[in-house]
Structure formats: C-alpha cells, structure tokens
Amino acid sequence: MPELPEVEIVARSLAAQVLQHKITAIEKLDWERMVETPDLATFRATLPDRCILAIGRRAKWLLMTLDAGWTLALHLRMSGNLTVQAAEAMPDIYTHLVLALDDGRRIFFQDQRKFGRVRLLDPVGLAALHASLGPEPLDTQFAINDLAQLLARRNARLKPLLLNQAIIAGLGNIYVDEALWYAHLHPLRAASSLDPDEVERLYYAIRTVLQQGIQNHGSTLRTYRNSYGEPGNNQEHFAVYDRKQQPCPRCGTPIKRILVAQRGTHFCPVCQPDPSALPITVENNR
C-alpha cells in the first residue's frame, strides 16, 4: 500500500498541479537512504532546474519525466505520500524530501515509516526499471492469453505469484485479495491448476478491482492521500479485504483471514474453496 490505483491517482492529481513547472531546489532531504540512485552528490546537483514534462506510473512507481532526459522515479511503499503544498506550508518530521517549484509551491514526500524510495534515472536506468517489471494488467495489450501463459508454467500459489511485481505489475495485498474473491479462487490454488474459464474470471476480476479502485480515488486505510491531500473511498467497497468475520457479500459466510507468504490474506471459505490440504497458518478469528 499504495498499490496501482493509489499511485495512478497520485500521478493524475500531481500532474494536474505541477506540469511544466520547474524544480528549483531540494529544500529538504533528511533521510538520505531514500535515494537509491545516483549517488547523493549527483542527485543534489542534477535535480534542480529540471522542468516537469510529464507524470505517469509504472507498476507502483510514480514516474516524473524531466527535461534533459532524466526521470524522477518515486516509490511510496507502505506509508508514503506526495502532496503539493503552498509556499508557507511547513514540513513536519515525517516529510523527508521537499522539492521547491518555480512558483513558490513545494512538493512534499511524507513517509512515516521511511520505506519510500527515490531514483533519478537516465534513459538506460529507466529502461532497466521497465524491464524488471511484469506487464501492466490494465494495458490494452494485456490479454487473457497473456495471463494464461504467465500462470500455466508456474506451480506457485496464486496469492504470492500475483504479488510478484516481476510477474504482473502493480498488484498488492488489497487488490489481490479482492480479485481472487471476484474470481471465486482460493489464494492457495496453484497457478498452473487454473482451467481456461478460471483464467478468464481472474483476468476480468483483476481489471475490475483495479478500475474500481481508480474510480473510487484509491483505498485509504491509514495514511494514503492524493496529491491534494484528499483520502480515497475505495475501502468502503471492499468485498473481503480487512473484513475478517464480517459476512461475505455473496453468501453471507464469515470472511476468514489467514497468512500466506507472511501476508494477511482475506477470503470466503465457501465462495473460494480450499483446493488442497496444504498446511497454512490460520489466525485466531475470534
């Protein structure tokens, strides 16, 4: 968290405010480990005076296209937020990066847990980032057959496989749980065990939950905000995620929460039947 829908909303709301503006200075950078590449001296010397030409997204990375061939890539991780603030706004202790703009406003990167990361990439670095990530599930070029091929050659369980950004881009804990519920698939199903109808259900379920998340401006469980500082409301539309012991919207059975690959995983035991007797860690649902 944030996942694909949240990063997409941040990108759109940020673009609406800062396109064609110039970054004039790095006013604050107090958590230097957030800069993954290049070295800090190059980062500090290169970023000022760059004009923001475009803002987009790749997987969970926000991509800010700058002039002179540079791209500022930002990953919000668990608790990061990017907001545009007025000139008089004061950064708090959780604001670890402040970029000054040519009109006096600033871009704040706030991150309570200090998991967020920043990369300033040249064209080679940007190409490497793209190559490290799987296909975009909302891309018009991504078809049912593409998903079928990704699943057919892997015996991994569905939940951890769908979380793997090198396999398919942008999905996280929330939207995988939601998609598997829509598709009537247990999170422990082996990916290669899906028949064509199940693959098709999963394909449309993934696209449905991601589009729903975007339409509802993202899911705000704790800290997520768009670049205006506004929360999303997709959490009001969850079918299973964060709904342990609440009734399944389809059948009324209480939602269960288990651990899969150390991730809290929500599902309906009736709508998403357990495919095997594989051992799993079940939390106390009382």
Domain boundary among 96, 131, 166: 131
Low-confidence winner among 31-35, 44-48, 152-156, 264-268 (lowest mean pLDDT): 152-156
DSSP label at residue 34? G
Domain boundary among 70, 100, 131: 131
Same domain, yes or no: 121 and 91:
yes
**Structure confidence at residue 240 as a pLDDT band (50, 70, 90):** very high
Q: What is the pLDDT of residues 72-113, one digit of tens each?
A: 999 999 899 999 999 999 999 999 999 999 999 999 999 999
**Which among 60, 117, 119, 201 is annotated as catalytic?**
60
Number of domains in the chain: 2
Domain boundary among 108, 131, 154: 131
The answer to whether residue 23 is domain-embedded is yes
**Which among 44, 114, 154, 263 is annotated as catalytic?**
263
**Which among 2, 5, 160, 187 is annotated as catalytic?**
2
The answer to whether residue 138 is domain-embedded is no
Same domain, yes or no: 100 and 174:
no
Using the predicted structure, report yes or no on whether residue 285 has a pLDDT greater than 80: no
What SS3 class is residue 6? Answer: helix
Same domain, yes or no: 98 and 152:
no
Q: Is 48 a catalytic residue?
A: no
Q: Is 119 a catalytic residue?
A: no
Average pLDDT of the chain is: 94
Q: What is the pTM of this model?
A: 0.93
Same domain, yes or no: 173 and 115:
no
Same domain, yes or no: 255 and 276:
yes
Same domain, yes or no: 116 and 219:
no
Q: Is 88 a catalytic residue?
A: no
Task: Give the domain extent around 116.
Answer: 4-131
The answer to whether residue 139 is domain-embedded is no
Same domain, yes or no: 99 and 16:
yes
Query: CATH number, domain at 94?
Result: 3.20.190.10
| Token couple for 76 | 């919000």
The answer to whether residue 179 is domain-embedded is yes
Provide the percentage of residues in the chain whose pLDDT is more than 90: 92
**CB 117 within 8 Å of CB 75:** yes
Q: Is 2 a catalytic residue?
A: yes
Q: What is the pLDDT of residues 44-58, one digit of tens each?
A: 999 999 999 999 999
Same domain, yes or no: 229 and 275:
yes
Distance CA 165, CA 210 (A): 15
Distance CA 48, CA 53 (A): 14
Strands 117-121 and 263-267: what pairing? unpaired
Query: CATH number, domain at 206?
Result: 1.10.8.50
Q: What is the pLDDT of residues 177-229, one digit of tens each?
A: 999 999 999 999 999 999 999 999 999 999 999 999 999 999 999 889 999 99
